Structure 1
C-alpha cells in the first residue's frame, strides 16, 4: 500500500494521530510513527545539519516518543537538490532545506528563502507569521503536495569568497560563482556564471579552478568548509542574502492525515528551531569573525558600491519578471515587498538609530 494514501474519516491508531490503514509496517509499529527526513546539508553539519536533527529530536521528545524521525544528510537517501521531489512524491516524508533550491519548480519559492536586498530574518519572521506570508506559502505548496513552514535562519550572510579582487561590476563578467536562486540569475544577467554545487565540494572546486568565487553562509560555516584556505578575498555585506530562511517541508497528504496535536508538535519543533538556529549562527559567526581577522591569508573588504548598485538594479528586473509569471507570483511579490518597505520604515525609526548611537557610545 502507498504510505501516502490516506482514508478520510478512518479511525486513528492509538496515540499516533494517523490512519492505521495509511501506512504499512514498519512505518507504524508498536504505536510509533516512523518518518524519514531528507536534508540539503551534510549529516550533522554545524548549524544546518544540527538544526535538522534538533527538529527530529524535539518532535520525538514532545510526542512522548510516538513520532520517530530518521534524518538523512545530503546524498544519503537522495541528492540534496532532489529533496523536494522526494517529499512531494512520497519517497521521503519531510525535508529540511532552503526553498530557493526549488527555483526550477516555481520561481516564487525564492521569496520564502531569501532575495537580494530583501528582508532580514526578523522581518521575514514577521511577514510569514503576521503579514500573510504563511498563507501564500501554503497556497504555493498545495500545487506540489507539500506543506511548508519556517525552520531556521542563518541571518545576515557574507557576500562571498573570491580568488581575485572585485573592484567594479565589470569584474563580475565571466565570474564563475556558487550562488543560488534569484542571486544566481542576477549574476548571469550581469555576465557571470552561477553554479549550484554541494557544500562539501566548494573548497575543492575553488582550489582546482572550477570556481572563481563562492558564497555559502558566514564565517563560522565557511571556515568549517575551508573556504578561507582557498580564496584570498572575502567580501561583505551579504546583500544577496540578508536573512536566509531554512524551511521544513512535509508531504501534504501526511500532514493532512495527522491529528491536530501532532501537527502542533511538528509546528512547535520547527518554530523552536527557527529561533535556535538564528541565535546559533549569530553567536558563532561573531566568534569566527574574530578568528578570521587573525588569519593572514585573507583580506576582508566591503563590496564596492558600484557592484551593489548593479546587483540591486538587476535584481529588481529579475524579481519583476518573476512577479509577472503568474497571478500567485504577483501576489507573493506584492505582499513580500509591501511588508519589507513597511518594516523598513520602522527599522529606520528604531533599530538603525539605536545601533548608530550604541556604536558611538562604545567608541
Structure 2
C-alpha cells in the first residue's frame, strides 16, 4: 500500500492513521485465509475478530501487510499478520506474536484472545459459571493455576503474570426482553470467549467486534445485543442511550483475569530486583483494578438506575439454569480432544468443587445475612 497524505493520522509527524493500518491488516488476513479455502464451497471471507499491537509510528513510502495461516478449522481460519514499511521496519503485529518474537518485550491483554493459537489459554481469563475474581486468584496463586499457565506459555518463550481483574461483569445490553432460552434464537450479540460459544449453542449468533464499532453496530441494528464490562465502562460507552434492557449477572465472565505476557529471554536478562519490580507491580494492579471497578461500578449503577428508560433486570432463573447446562456441555466439547485443555479444566473444576463449601458459609452467607439491602 503506497503512502498517501489522506491516510495521515498525525499531520505534524506524517504518521499513518491506525485505521488505515487496520484495513491493510484485515485485507492481508482475509487474503491469507482465502488461500486455504475452497472458494466454490466457502463463498467468501468475513473477519470475526482482530487484535492489533501498534509497535512503532507508521512512517514510510509504502507499507506491506503479510498474512500467514496459523490454523484452519472447519469454519474459522486463524491468521497472523505483520505490517512492515519500505525499510522493513515492523510497525504492527498481534500482541502475542510481537512479544513471543521479541519485537515487544511485554504486552497486556487477556488470555482468551489467544485461543486460536492455544486453545487452553482461554481458561485463564474466565469460564462461564466458573470462579469469581477472588476465587480465580486463589486458584492461580494458592492452587496450581499459575503453574499450569506458565507451563502452557513456556513453549512460546513467554511468561504470564496475572495483572488485573474486572470482577463479575454484567450480562449485557439487549434490545428485547430475555424471558426464555428461545429468545436467544437468531440474536446477534457481540460477545467473545467461551461465553460466545455457549450462546452459539443456544441459538444466538455471536459477533466479535472491536470496541470502537460496538455502539454504532447496536444503534444501527447490525447487532441486537452486546456485553461489555460493567456499569462504569458501559455508561461511558453510551449503551444506555440505544438499548433499554440491561441484564445481570455476567454468567459468561464472573471474574475476568487480565495478563502481562513477557518475553522470557528479555525477563531473564533483567537483574532480580527489576524482575521483582515487575511482579510486584502486576500484583498491585490486581488489587487496584478490582478496587477501581467495584467503586466506579457502584457509582455508575446508581446513575443508570436513575435513567427512566433503562430496565436493569436479572436473567430469569429458567434461562440461567439452561445456560449453565449448555455451558457445561460446550466446555466438555472444547476440552474433549485437547489434552492441555483437559488438564487445565480438570484442575479448575476440582478447585471450584473444593472451594464452594467454604464460599457458601463465608461469602454467600455474608451477602445473604449480613450485607442485606438497606
TM-score (norm. length: structure 1): 0.76
Residues 1-58 of structure 1, C-alpha deviations (whole Å, 9 max, x = no match)? xxxxxxxxxxxxxxxxxxxxxxxxxxxxxxxxxxxxxxxxxxxxxxxxxxxxxxxxxx
Map 1:310-321; keep pairs closer than 5 Å.
310-321=322-333
Q: Counterparts in 2 of 1:16-165, with a 5 A limit?
A: 76-77=54-55, 82-165=94-177
Query: Equivalent of 1:166, from 165, 178, 183?
Result: 178
In the alignment, the residues of structure 2 paired with residue 127 and residue 302 of structure 1 have an alpha-carbon distance, to the nearest angstrom, of: 28
Name the residue aligned to 1:357.
369
The equivalent residue for 2:349 is: 337
- Change beyond 3 A, Cα 1:171–1:336: same
Matched, 1:225 2:237: yes
- Look up the match of 1:346: 358
Q: CA deviation at 1:140?
A: 0.7
Task: Tell me which residue corresponds to 1:268.
Answer: 280
Q: Structure 1's 352 and 331: CA in aligned 2 closer, same or farther, altered over 3 A?
A: same
Contact between 1:219 and 1:289, CA under 8 Å: does it hold in 2? yes
CA displacement 1:61-97 (0-9 Å, x = unmatched) = xxxxxxxxxxxx9664499992212222222221111
Residue of structure 2 in register with 1:19 after alignment: none
The answer on whether the counterparts of 1:95 and 1:249 sit within 8 Å (CA) in structure 2 is yes
Question: What is the Cα deviation at residue 102 of structure 1?
Answer: 1.2
1:100/1:109 contact within 8 Å kept: yes
Deviates more, 1:329-338 or 1:272-281: 329-338
Distance 2:174 2:100 in 1: 36
**TM-score, length-scaled by structure 2:** 0.74
Question: Per-residue CA shift, 1:267-311, capped at 9, x if unaligned?
Answer: 111000010000000000000000000012211111122221221
Measure, in 2, the Cα distance between the counterparts of 1:319 and 1:119: 14
- 3-state SS of the aligned residue for 2:130? coil
The correspondence of residues 166-315 of structure 1 with structure 2, limited to 5 A, is 166-315=178-327
In 2, the alpha carbon distance for the partners of 1:230 and 1:92 equals: 39
SS at 1:143 equivalent: helix
Q: Note the residue ranges of structure 1 that are not aligned, 5 or more in a row.
A: 1-72
What displacement does 1:227 show? 1.1
Highest relative contact order (Cα 8 Å, sep 6+), 1 or 2?
A: 1
- Tell me the distance in 2 between the aligned counterparts of 1:192 and 1:85: 31
* Distance across 1 between alignment mates of 2:294 and 2:206: 27
Return structure 1 stretches of 4+ with deviation > 6 angstroms. 78-81
8 Å contact kept, 2:55–2:93: no
Alpha-carbon distance between aligned partners in 1 of 2:264 and 2:205, rounded to the nearest angstrom: 35
Distance in 1 of aligned mates of 2:97 and 2:171: 29
Aligned to 2:39: none
Unaligned runs of 5+ in 2: 1-50, 57-80, 82-91
- Deviation, 1:260, is 2.1
SS at match of 2:309: coil
For residues 76 and 230 of structure 1, the distance between their equivalents in structure 2, rounded to whole angstroms, comes to 31
Secondary structure at the counterpart of residue 104 of structure 2:
coil
Aligned pairs, how many?
A: 290
Which residue number corresponds to residue 76 of structure 2?
Answer: none
